[in-house]
Each structure stands twice: as structure tokens, then as C-alpha cells.
């Protein structure tokens, strides 16, 4: 077969998505098994211990016939609801295998079920989360966390200028350089991974009422607005800084493609209230596509059959959608073994006017 014919053939194949099953004592294996409930426009490969997945399927009464498994062996027998630091390395083995497959082109994207940071650290392995781990192992100097959800009337894509910081440290962490880098990553990935040619991004202020013209803080005037003005001059469609208490209202969100919050709870409290079960996490800035559920290991639900797979399904849907934007989806590794086989901050001219009316927010 010629190179051209091979490329055309690869384009016709569905994307191959790696799904890591997460903490073995949590609900990760449960919700991964439920991927069999749907027909997907992709080839899904669940990474995990095949005996663990088979036992959990039997415990849940789930038919896992349609699940393709890439076997990654446990370090120690795992029981639902009981953490064991001996399996910390197993969790990272799955991440390493999925990441290596993405870098090699075997997988078009990776989706991660939840892990338990505490038990990994208890094993003597410094681990602050998937996002930081993947950034380090792809030599990516800066990544951006974005959580997303599609609501009936509007779409939310909430990116964060800062992530897991004490509130007292947030203001100092928002520098012109850091904010510029965050916005550039957000803008670039909205174009490259979401297919939005000219994204419209709403940017929150840091202080109440976006600083009230400097009377409630000067970060909007001294840091945020100068960065927005500079990037607007390059052609980016940035609106703000906006008061965060009205940024997430329906009329303000209308027509926007993403929203940038200055700190964790400013943006994520809104998203999790509106769409706790449907939210997903997307890591922007990586050289690969990575999405994740937006919930934890829920040890008390593991093995009970009560864990909802909605967030995982949404994360897989998003990964497939992003992967299909590629010109030639990877063909994947050899078949794995299946289970059976408001007003802007002052000065007012620093913000573009907002259109009125309702909209879905997705571009």
C-alpha cells in the first residue's frame, strides 16, 4: 500500500481512546465497565487489571463482553472501598502506558478515571494530580485546567488562572506574565482542540465588582486589564475584566466560548452547582488530548452499582470529538484482550460590549 493510501485508510478508522480505570478501590473500575452500555464512534481501550475488572463486573452484575481491556497488572489484590498504598504504582503504571501510547500515536486521546492523591503520597510517591503528572512527563512547562459542561441553555468551559492555592496566595500568583500565558494556552487550544476559529473569552476580575475602579483592589487595573488590552491588540476576542458574580448569568454567558476565572472556587463552585454529574476536566496546553471525570474516587460507592458514569461518558465524548478533529486518527495498537476474550471593570473602555439575549455559549 502506498503512503497516500495508508494515510487515507487511517483517516477512515475511528479514533482509539485510552481510558485509565483509576484507583482500584474506588469507582473508577465500576464506571469504566459501564462504557459497555453505549455504542461509541471510537475504539475504547480500558487500561487496568483484567482480573480486577472481571471480578468487579461480576460483583456489579455488569456484562463486560464489549469492553476491550489492555491488561496492566495490580501490585496487590484490590478490594472495593479499601485503599492500599501497595497499588499506588499500579495507578501510575496505567497513566504511563496511556501517555506513552498517546505520544507514540497508538491512542488519539486519553481519558482518566479518578485517582486518590493521598494514597499515592502515602506510598512515598510525590503526586499532586493527573494534570501536574502529565505536564511533567511530557516536559510541558505550563498547562491550564479547564472544566466544562453543557447545560440546556448554555455551555460552560471554565478555565482557571490559578488552581490549588490558598486564597491568601492567589493575588500574588496572578502576574501579567502568568495571566498572558494562561490566556494564550486557552485561546490556542480552543482553536486547535475545539475547532473554534475565533473564540470569545469572558475574563473575570479578581476582586468584588471587578475592583470597583480600584476602590476594592487594583489587580484589575494593574495586572488584568493591561494583559487583556495587549492580547486584544493581537486580535483576541476577550471581554473583561468582569465582576464574577454576574459573569455566570445567562445573558452574559450568551455567545461566549469560554470563561476564565482567577481562582479555583470563583469558577468551579458555579460549574459544580450547575452540572456536578455532567462536568468534565480538560487539560489544556499538553501535546496530547486528555480529558477526565470531574469527581473523586467515591470509595463508599465502589462496588455498589450506585456510581453514575455520566461524567465519564461526557469525558469520553469530548475526547472523541477532539480526536476527530485530527486529520489522521491513529490506528491504535493491536487489539487488546476483551473481557470475555454585567458591567466591566473601570475604565469602561477596557471591555468590549456584551450582546444581549440568550445563547448556548458553545462555539
The C-alpha atoms of residue 14 and residue 327 are separated, in whole angstroms, by 12
Q: What pLDDT does residue 236 have?
A: 98
Q: pTM value?
A: 0.83
In angstroms, the Cα distances linking 284 to 22, 59, 184 are 21, 37, 10
Q: What pLDDT does residue 326 have?
A: 66
In the structure grid, which three cell numbers stand for residue 256, read together?
Answer: 461566549
Q: Which value, to the nearest 10 degrees, does the dihedral of the CA atoms of residues 223, 228, 233, 235 take?
A: 160
pLDDT tens over the chain, length 363 residues: 444 444 444 556 899 999 999 999 999 999 999 999 999 999 999 999 999 999 999 999 988 888 999 999 999 999 999 999 999 999 999 999 999 999 999 999 999 999 999 999 999 999 988 989 999 999 999 999 999 998 877 889 999 999 988 999 999 999 999 999 999 999 999 999 999 999 999 999 999 999 889 999 999 999 999 999 999 999 999 999 999 999 999 999 999 999 999 999 999 999 989 888 789 999 999 999 999 998 999 999 999 999 999 999 999 999 999 999 864 444 445 444 443 333 333 333 333 222 222 222 222
Q: Give me the residues paired with residue 16 across strands.
A: 43
Half-sphere exposure of residue 271: CA atoms within 13 angstroms, side-chain side: 27
Name the nearest CA neighbour of 146 among 162, 133, 160, 161: 160
In angstroms, the Cα distances linking 159 to 197, 249, 257, 262 are 18, 17, 11, 9
**Structure letter (DSSP) for residue 360:** -
Grouping H, G, I as helix, E, B as strand and the rest as coil, residue 231 is helix
Q: What pLDDT does residue 276 have?
A: 80
Q: What pLDDT does residue 64 have?
A: 80
Q: List, in order of start, the domains of the chain with CATH numbers.
A: 1-140+286-332 (3.40.718.10), 142-284+342-363 (3.40.718.10)
Q: What pLDDT does residue 11 have?
A: 57
Q: Are 81 and 299 in contact (CB under 8 A)?
A: yes
Amino acid at each position: 500500500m502506498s503512503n497516500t493510501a495508508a494515510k487515507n485508510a487511517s483517516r477512515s478508522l475511528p479514533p482509539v481512546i485510552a481510558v485509565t480505570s483509576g484507583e482500584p478501590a474506588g469507582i473508577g473500575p465500576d464506571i469504566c465497565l459501564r462504557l459497555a452500555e453505549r455504542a461509541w464512534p471510537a475504539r475504547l481501550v480500558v487500561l487496568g487489571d483484567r482480573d480486577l475488572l472481571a471480578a468487579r463486573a461480576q460483583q456489579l452484575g455488569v456484562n463486560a463482553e464489549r469492553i476491550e481491556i489492555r491488561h496492566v497488572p495490580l501490585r496487590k489484590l484490590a478490594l472495593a472501598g479499601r485503599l492500599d498504598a501497595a497499588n499506588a504504582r499500579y495507578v501510575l503504571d496505567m497513566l504511563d502506558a496511556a501517555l506513552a501510547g498517546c505520544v507514540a500515536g497508538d491512542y488519539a486521546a486519553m481519558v482518566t478515571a479518578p485517582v486518590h492523591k493521598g494514597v499515592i503520597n502515602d506510598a512515598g510517591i510525590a503526586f499532586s494530580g493527573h494534570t501536574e503528572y502529565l505536564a511533567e512527563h511530557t516536559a510541558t512547562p505550563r498547562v491550564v485546567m479547564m472544566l466544562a459542561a453543557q447545560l440546556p441553555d448554555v455551555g460552560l468551559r471554565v478555565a482557571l488562572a490559578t488552581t490549588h492555592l490558598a486564597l491568601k496566595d492567589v493575588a500574588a500568583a496572578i502576574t501579567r506574565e502568568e495571566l498572558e500565558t494562561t490566556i494564550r494556552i486557552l485561546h490556542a487550544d480552543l482553536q486547535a482542540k475545539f475547532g473554534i476559529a475565533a473564540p470569545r473569552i469572558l475574563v473575570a476580575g479578581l476582586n468584588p465588582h471587578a475592583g470597583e475602579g480600584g476602590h476594592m483592589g487594583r489587580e484589575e487595573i494593574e495586572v488584568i486589564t493591561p494583559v487583556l488590552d495587549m492580547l486584544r491588540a493581537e486580535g483576541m476576542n476577550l471581554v473583561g475584566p468582569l465582576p464574577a458574580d454576574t459573569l455566570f448569568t445567562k445573558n452574559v454567558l450568551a455567545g461566549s466560548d469560554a470563561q476564565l476565572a482567577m481562582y479555583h472556587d470563583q469558577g468551579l463552585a458555579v460549574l459544580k452547582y450547575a452540572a456536578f454529574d455532567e462536568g468534565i476536566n480538560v487539560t489544556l496546553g499538553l501535546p496530547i488530548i486528555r480529558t477526565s471525570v470531574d469527581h473523586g474516587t467515591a470509595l463508599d460507592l465502589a462496588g455498589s452499582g450506585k456510581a453514575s458514569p455520566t461524567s465519564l461518558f461526557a469525558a469520553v465524548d469530548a475526547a472523541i470529538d477532539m480526536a476527530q478533529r485530527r486529520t489522521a486518527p491513529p490506528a491504535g495498537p493491536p487489539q487488546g484482550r476483551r473481557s470475555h476474550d454585567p458591567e466591566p471593570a473601570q475604565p469602561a473602555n477596557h471591555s468590549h460590549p456584551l450582546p444581549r439575549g440568550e445563547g448556548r455559549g458553545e462555539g
